A and B are shown apart, each in its own frame.
Chain A
Amino acid sequence: MKPVGWQAWLLTETPGGRAQARAGRWYRNLRRFARNPLAMSGLFVVLALIAVALAAPLLAPARAVVLQALPDRLLPPSLAHPFGTDELGRDLYARVVFGARITLSIVAMVALIVLPIGLGIGLPAGYFGGWIDLVLMRLTDIFLAFPRLILALAFAAALGPGIRNAVIAIALTAWPPYARLARAETLSLRAREFVLAAELQGASAWRILRTQILPLCLPSVIIRLTLDMAGIILTAAGLGFLGLGAQPPSPEWGAMVASGRDVLLDQWWVATIPGLAIFVVSLGFNLLGDGLREIFDPRAA
Chain B
Amino acid sequence: MHPRRLLLAALALLLPVAAHAATPANTLVVAKQIDDIITLDPAEAYELSDEEVITNVYDRLIRYEAEDLTKMVGGVAQSWVVSPDGKTFTFTLRPGQKFHDGSPLTAEDAAFSLQRVVILNKTPAFLITQLGWTPENVGTLIQAVDAHTLRFTTPVRFAPSLVLNLMSSVVGSVVEKKLAMAHQAGGDLGNAWLKSHDAASGPFVLISWKPKESVTMQANPAYRLGPPGVGRIVIRNIVESASQRLLLEKGDVDIARNLTPDQIAAVAKRKGIRIEEFPGSDTWYVGLNQKDPRLANPLVRQAMRYLIDAQGMTGSFLKGSFKVHETFLPDGFLGALDDDPNHLDVAKAKALLAQAGFPNGFELRLDTPNTTPYTDIAQSVQQTMGLAGIKVAIVPADLKQVLTLYRARQHQMVLVNWGPDYLDPHTNADTFAYNPDNSDKAAEKPLAWRNDWAILQLSQETLAAAQEPDTAKRVAMYHDLQKKVLEEGPFMILFQPTFQIAEQARVHGFIAGITSDLTYYRKVTK
Q: Give me the interface of A with B, judged by CB distance under 8 Å.
A: 66-68, 70-71, 73-74, 87-89, 157, 160-161, 242-244, 247-249, 259, 261-267
Contacts and interface: CB of A to CB of B under 8 A. Distances in A.
Nearest to A68: B383
Contacts, number: 78
Among B370, B372, B378, find the residue whose CB has the most chain A CB atoms closer than 10 A: B370
A67 B312 CA distance: 14
Interface residues on B, range: 20 to 34
B262 A262 contact: yes
Interface in B236-265: 240-242, 245-246, 260, 262-263
A88 B398 CA distance: 22
10 contacts: A66-B383, A68-B383, A70-B309, A87-B317, A248-B394, A248-B396, A262-B263, A263-B260, A265-B242, A265-B245
Contact of B317 (A73, A261, A264): A73
Interface in B193-241: 240-241
A123 B378 CA distance: 48
Given A68-B383, A87-B317, A161 B242 contact: no
Given A70-B315, A88-B380, A264 B395 contact: no
Contacts of B379: 68, 88, 248-249
A267 B317 CA distance: 14
A92 to B, nearest CB: 15
Contacts of B382: 248-249
Nearest to A87: B317
A261 B243 CA distance: 11
A248 B316 contact: no
Question: In the complex, which of the residues B240, B241, B246, B383 has the most CB atoms of chain A within 10 Å of its own CB atom?
Answer: B383
Contacts of A267: 262
Given A70-B317, A73-B317, 18 more contacts: A68-B380, A70-B316, A70-B380, A71-B316, A87-B262, A88-B376, A160-B395, A161-B397, A248-B379, A249-B383, A259-B376, A261-B240, A261-B242, A262-B260, A263-B260, A266-B262, A266-B266, A267-B262
B250 to A, nearest CB: 12
B270 to A, nearest CB: 12
A243 B396 contact: yes
Contact of B266 (A73, A261, A265): A265
A168 B283 CA distance: 38
A247 B312 contact: no
B393 interface: yes
Interface of B: 240-242, 245-246, 260, 262-263, 266, 309, 312-313, 315-317, 370-372, 375-376, 378-380, 382-383, 393-398
A274 to B, nearest CB: 16
A265 B379 CA distance: 24
A160 B262 contact: no
Contacts of A261: 240, 242
Contacts of A264: 242
Contacts of A66: 383
A194 B382 CA distance: 62
Contacts of B370: 161, 242-244
Contacts of A161: 370, 395-397
B262 A74 contact: yes
B376 to A, nearest CB: 6
Nearest to A270: B262
A259 B262 contact: no
Contact of B398 (A68, A73, A87, A157): A157
Contacts of B383: 66-68, 249
A264 B217 CA distance: 33
B375 A73 contact: no
Given A243-B396, A248-B379, A262 B317 contact: no
Nearest to A261: B242
B317 A259 contact: no
A243 B380 CA distance: 17
B372 A262 contact: yes
A68 B384 CA distance: 10
B395 A247 contact: yes
Contacts of B313: 70
B262 A263 contact: yes
A218 B390 CA distance: 48
Contacts of A87: 262, 317, 372, 376
A89 B317 CA distance: 10
Contacts of A265: 242, 245-246, 263, 266
Nearest to B261: A262
A261 to B, nearest CB: 7
A253 to B, nearest CB: 16
Nearest to B375: A248
Contacts of B316: 70-71, 73, 89
A261 B395 CA distance: 21
B241 A262 contact: yes
Contacts of B394: 247-249
Nearest to B249: A265
A160 B394 CA distance: 12
B158 to A, nearest CB: 42
Contacts of B262: 74, 87, 262-263, 266-267
B393 A247 contact: yes
A259 B371 CA distance: 9
A202 B441 CA distance: 68
Nearest to A71: B316
Contacts of B246: 265
Contacts of A262: 241-242, 260, 262-263, 372
Contacts of B372: 87, 259, 262
A206 B315 CA distance: 67
A140 B155 CA distance: 64
A89 B260 CA distance: 17
Contacts of A88: 317, 376, 379-380
Centre residue among A248, A249, A266, A267 by max chain B CB count within 10 A:
A248
Nearest to A262: B260
B71 to A, nearest CB: 37
Contacts of B397: 160-161, 243
Nearest to B262: A263
Nearest to B383: A68
B459 to A, nearest CB: 35
Given A262-B242, A262-B263, A70 B396 contact: no
Nearest to B394: A248
A67 B375 CA distance: 15
A73 B375 CA distance: 15
Contacts of A89: 316
A87 B242 CA distance: 15
A283 to B, nearest CB: 26
A267 to B, nearest CB: 7
Contacts of A73: 316-317
A259 B317 CA distance: 12
Contacts of A74: 262
Contacts of B241: 262
A106 to B, nearest CB: 18
Nearest to B265: A266
Nearest to B312: A70
A31 to B, nearest CB: 50
Contacts of B396: 161, 243, 247-248
A168 to B, nearest CB: 17
